[in-house]
Amino acid sequence: MTNAQVTLIQIDNYGPWTVTPEPRREVDLQTLQSRLYADLSQLVGNRDGYVFFTRFDNMIAVTNGMDEADHAMIQESVGNRYPVTVSFGVGADPSPVAALSTATDHIQDAGSAQAADRTEILGGATLDPDERTDDDVQIAHFDVNDATGKYTDRMNAFDSFIHIEQGYAELMQYFRRAHEGLAFFVGGDNVIAVCPDLDRAAYEDTIQHVEETVNVELKVGVGRAATAQPAGMAAKHALEDCRENGDRVVFEE
Amino acid sequence: MTNAQVTLIQIDNYGPWTVTPEPRREVDLQTLQSRLYADLSQLVGNRDGYVFFTRFDNMIAVTNGMDEADHAMIQESVGNRYPVTVSFGVGADPSPVAALSTATDHIQDAGSAQAADRTEILGGATLDPDERTDDDVQIAHFDVNDATGKYTDRMNAFDSFIHIEQGYAELMQYFRRAHEGLAFFVGGDNVIAVCPDLDRAAYEDTIQHVEETVNVELKVGVGRAATAQPAGMAAKHALEDCRENGDRVVFEE
Amino acid sequence: MTNAQVTLIQIDNYGPWTVTPEPRREVDLQTLQSRLYADLSQLVGNRDGYVFFTRFDNMIAVTNGMDEADHAMIQESVGNRYPVTVSFGVGADPSPVAALSTATDHIQDAGSAQAADRTEILGGATLDPDERTDDDVQIAHFDVNDATGKYTDRMNAFDSFIHIEQGYAELMQYFRRAHEGLAFFVGGDNVIAVCPDLDRAAYEDTIQHVEETVNVELKVGVGRAATAQPAGMAAKHALEDCRENGDRVVFEE
Amino acid sequence: MTNAQVTLIQIDNYGPWTVTPEPRREVDLQTLQSRLYADLSQLVGNRDGYVFFTRFDNMIAVTNGMDEADHAMIQESVGNRYPVTVSFGVGADPSPVAALSTATDHIQDAGSAQAADRTEILGGATLDPDERTDDDVQIAHFDVNDATGKYTDRMNAFDSFIHIEQGYAELMQYFRRAHEGLAFFVGGDNVIAVCPDLDRAAYEDTIQHVEETVNVELKVGVGRAATAQPAGMAAKHALEDCRENGDRVVFEE
């Protein structure tokens, strides 16, 4: 059984801040957003978690193994180093979608993403140590078969991106609807998903659906562990096995 | 008439590097990618250009006003500070798609994105000062009408993201195919596009198409200038006018 | 009794790298050095340690609570994100000077700081959990009395700096020689020292010596804990007590 | 004749901010300071200037070639990305000390470094383009003879640092007093100075003084240009000549 602990990270009142008193220079916003994401990656990654940039103003993290004090410390560190603050909502559930819904509720119940007086919310409960197991996190790492040969080295860079993006858009929607997994584009031709306790058939089905619908061929490695970092590393090794053996789905055993 | 100078930035041999000798920790890759993007944003932004993260291993920049020496210096600065190097291809054309195609050709002709011996290419020609005009760059800044009220404050964070992403996927494909513009998601509910010399009808058509196809309502501000930064800032002000007056398309005059 | 675990962090073969094949731009070296320091601060700080920038190519850290796996992970993370690598030597001793000497030996014995083939050394032993106690780390936080009123708001910025620097130079030498403490300038008018088990008289003596020798008046707060972060935070609170009550030496109890 | 344009960069009300409402974690302050310095290095360095970290809360920059709009843009960019703001004072004079004094006056006259209501000052005048010449900036790059062999590979890392630091402390004070130059430690065993129009004898005298006083042997390369970056690069090449030929003072011709 999986039991993903998911944290929603939301920049407080970010939209209004970006245009007050005048629109701020885009280059500064882009720098701020990508560095905040990099810092959160490190802060969460140092505790064996994963953060996905998603919309940048709303990021989604897998935080099994992190307790409330860890969350509070990261929130404080962001407040000490950025002109903006962040709110955290936390949820845990065998279904990552259900976990994220709980996490989102905790933030939404405290006020709007654009309410100036709703700052540094830390809502929801982290898993107790004795609730945790070695299979709580299932991570799947997808990539596109021969993306370099088919797209990057052949088409203009935007049309390559359209293909990658199209594959991702179909994957994210289908995988969420059919299998309750949360799939995130992480750069290049890579997508990493946090999953419920899925079997091989679910991944076969997903890959087949994406190929039939938008003609993008995927493969996937799957790993499981108590936290995201070792589960994700197992998934990477499984994906390397796919590459070497021509398999479409490999579970790291 | 527009005359966009577009630079394709490609990390050299990045895919193989990420798994040699073993897959590298995802947290480090995410940090590397997002900080490299932040640095390029600053290096190009300090010269009035814009960079879009796109796939992170392939980034697309609008570089009107930057010459070859500027490109070479940025390439050197990345090489001095990162474990990876970058190649640049440059093209200029009234159509951003054509400019990017030229830029891509210069990199592809020099070798594969996964060739270990193809490093730090600097190909293509920048605009001569006397070719440049005050209308060379047209930037459009789109956002989603009331994304916070309709999605962020109401749905779980992944389902909000699916709506935003779906709107973006349709916009990027239609706008490229119908109007030869390059549209990039830049975080939140924002998309910034570099455009040929489009009129109001083209933007009306695009917004209507996205609404009819995926039911996401957009508005857009448009700015023009000799370089991306002032054109983009004008577009932001035009978008603020949309917000205040309920317009769907505003050109900054 | 204190038992400081000290880690020497040395960039491998850095001097030669900075001038190969030609001298690299100073701005890139400064950016590289200060960001590497910032990253190490975070990586070590997330494990309750402290890093001091010292010479930037040789940094000194207090790493009680961190084991070999923590050190190896940080080394790997630097190698994944920078064009340079780092070596670590570790020592532990009631005297921080003795701990650092052991740490230095481990690196020196493996080869020169400018040997191209001596990379990513990880030498020395970290403290076993059952050797550790709640008083292992004593941190002292010094600052200059009314530095803003006497120097910053009155003299030109370089002459202010000369005064601060002179106070620091005398403090670092005397404190090391007379009391076996390692004192580091950390910005502003602040010096943080990792100390053996010193009493109030040792701090009184040090402050008096600096005042008599170079006419710079200091005060100091002292904290103790199992690791650097809480000891340092206790020292900060003690220093606030100095400020409020006009004391020169306060131990946080 | 030299004519250095010097900018004092002061973080506004930083001391009080670091302890309000409670002392902030040192790791966050260190990260904030060193990243702000890295960003300023890039922002100024992209315009051919140099920034020295000095006390971190007060940094000194050589900004020949930068006008008021450049300063204002950098100030805005810091405000957009950090929880603190910066003030700038600018001065220009054949003597860097005099230039810095003017720069400092502009900030001091506007209020205390610890006044909450004195923020984002931009005082003083930048050089008009027609006042500028190709010899305005003289940069000297000092290093310690065989620092690695004598100190780094032989002594413990703190005692090596004491030697380097002692050499620097004597150099900075003597060079400022006897020759009106501003010398800054920049890491490793390197010191970079911004100088008035000094001849070979002045550098010989300085090196001899430091050797006689604290027994640290230096060498120096000197470069001249219209801005800091090419002057500093010329100084680096001159220092390489010293290394190869055993000279103590080399002017790049």
Which residue ranges does chain C devote to CATH 3.30.70.270? 137-251
pLDDT score at A3:
98
Provide CATH code, domain C137-251: 3.30.70.270
Whether residue A32 contacts residue D80, with contact meaning beta carbons closer than 8 Å, is answered with: yes
> Does the pLDDT value for residue B253 go beyond 80?
no
Span between the terminal Cα atoms of chain A, in Å: 16
Task: Write the residue in B159, B169, B189 that is nearest to A165 by C-beta.
Answer: B169
A130-158 average pLDDT score: 96
C187 with D148: Cβ contact below 8 A: no
pLDDT tens sequence across B28-84? 999 999 999 999 999 999 999 999 999 999 999 999 999 999 999 999 999 999 999
pLDDT tens sequence across D110-159? 999 999 999 999 999 999 999 999 999 999 999 999 999 999 999 999 99
Pick among B139, B152, B159, B210 to test the A interface (most A CBs inside 10 A)? B152
% of residues, chain A, pLDDT over 90: 99
> Does the pLDDT value for residue A56 go beyond 90?
yes
The ipTM, to two decimals, is 0.97
D77 with A28: Cβ contact below 8 A: yes
Quick one: which of D175, D169, D193 has its CA closest to D183? Answer: D193
Residues 6+ apart with CB under 8 A from B83: B17, B32, C79, C80, C81, C82, C83
pLDDT tens sequence across A89-104? 999 999 999 999 999 9
% of residues, chain B, pLDDT over 90: 99
B 67-126 near C (Cβ less than 8 A): 76-77, 79-83
pLDDT score at A10:
98
> Does the pLDDT value for residue A79 go beyond 80?
yes
Reported as half-sphere exposure (CB side, CA atoms, 13 A), residue A52 has a value of: 26
Task: Write the residue in B25, B80, B81 that is nearest to C80 by C-beta.
Answer: B25
Distance CA A18, CA D232 (A): 38
pLDDT score at A253:
74
Tell me how crowded residue D13 is: count the other CB atoms within 10 A of its CB. 21
Reported as half-sphere exposure (CB side, CA atoms, 13 A), residue D134 has a value of: 0
**CATH number for domain C4-131, candidates 3.30.70.1230, 3.40.190.10, 3.40.50.1370, 3.20.20.140:** 3.30.70.1230
Token pair for C173 = 């030498």
Residues 6+ apart with CB under 8 A from D90: D5, D6, D7, D8, D63, D71, D102, D103, D106, D123, D124, D125, D126
pLDDT tens sequence across A198-252? 999 999 999 999 999 999 999 999 999 999 999 999 999 999 999 999 999 999 9
Is C238 an 8 Å CB contact of chain B?
no
Distance CA A104, CA A90 (A): 8
Whether residue A79 contacts residue A85, with contact meaning beta carbons closer than 8 Å, is answered with: yes
A164 to chain B: nearest residue by CA? B55
A58 with B160: Cβ contact below 8 A: yes
Phi, psi dihedrals of residue D138, rounded to the nearest 5°? -115, 120
Give the model's confidence band at D253: pLDDT under 50 very low, under 70 low, under 90 confident, else very high: confident
Distance CA C134, CA A249 (A): 50
D156-170 average pLDDT score: 96
Chain B residue numbers touching A239 (CB-CB < 8 A): 23
Chain C residue numbers touching A46 (CB-CB < 8 A): 42-43, 46-47
pLDDT tens sequence across B150-187? 999 999 999 999 999 999 999 999 999 999 999 999 99
Which residue ranges does chain C devote to CATH 3.30.70.1230? 4-131
Distance from CA of B188 to the nearest CA of A (A): 5
Tell me how crowded residue C177 is: count the other CB atoms within 10 A of its CB. 11
From residue B79, give the alpha-carbon distance in Å to each of B85, B117, B190: 5, 15, 31
Whether residue B205 contacts residue B198, with contact meaning beta carbons closer than 8 Å, is answered with: no
pLDDT score at B95:
98
Distance CA A134, CA A129 (A): 11
How many B-C residue pairs are in contact by the CB < 8 A criterion?
A: 40
Chain C residue numbers touching D51 (CB-CB < 8 A): 30
Task: Write the residue in D30, D54, D103 that is nearest to C161 by C-beta.
Answer: D54
pLDDT score at C253:
74
Is A40 an 8 Å CB contact of chain C?
no
pLDDT score at B139:
98
DSSP D217-251: -EEEEEEEESSHHHHHHHHHHHHHHHHHHT-SEEE
A34-56 average pLDDT score: 97
Q: What subunits make at least 3 CB pairs under 8 angstroms with B?
A: A, C, D
> In the beta sheet, which residues pair with residue B223?
B139
D42 with B43: Cβ contact below 8 A: yes
Tell me which H or E stretch contains D194.
strand D190-195
D81 with A82: Cβ contact below 8 A: yes
Chain C residue numbers touching B77 (CB-CB < 8 A): 25, 27-28
Quick one: which of D59, D95, D50 has its CA closest to D229? Answer: D50
Chain D residue numbers touching C235 (CB-CB < 8 A): none
Q: What is the mean pLDDT of each run of 10 residues along chain C (253 residues)?
A: 97 96 97 98 97 98 98 97 98 98 97 96 97 97 95 95 96 98 98 98 98 97 98 98 96 88
The rounded mean pLDDT for chain B is 97
Pairing relationship of beta strands D137-144 and D218-225 according to DSSP bridges: antiparallel
Chain A residue numbers touching B25 (CB-CB < 8 A): 45, 229, 233
pLDDT score at B183:
98
pLDDT tens sequence across D58-96? 999 999 999 999 999 999 999 999 999 999 999 999 999
Task: Note the pTM of the prediction, 2 decimals.
Answer: 0.97
Chain C residue numbers touching D115 (CB-CB < 8 A): none
Whether residue A235 contacts residue A140, with contact meaning beta carbons closer than 8 Å, is answered with: yes
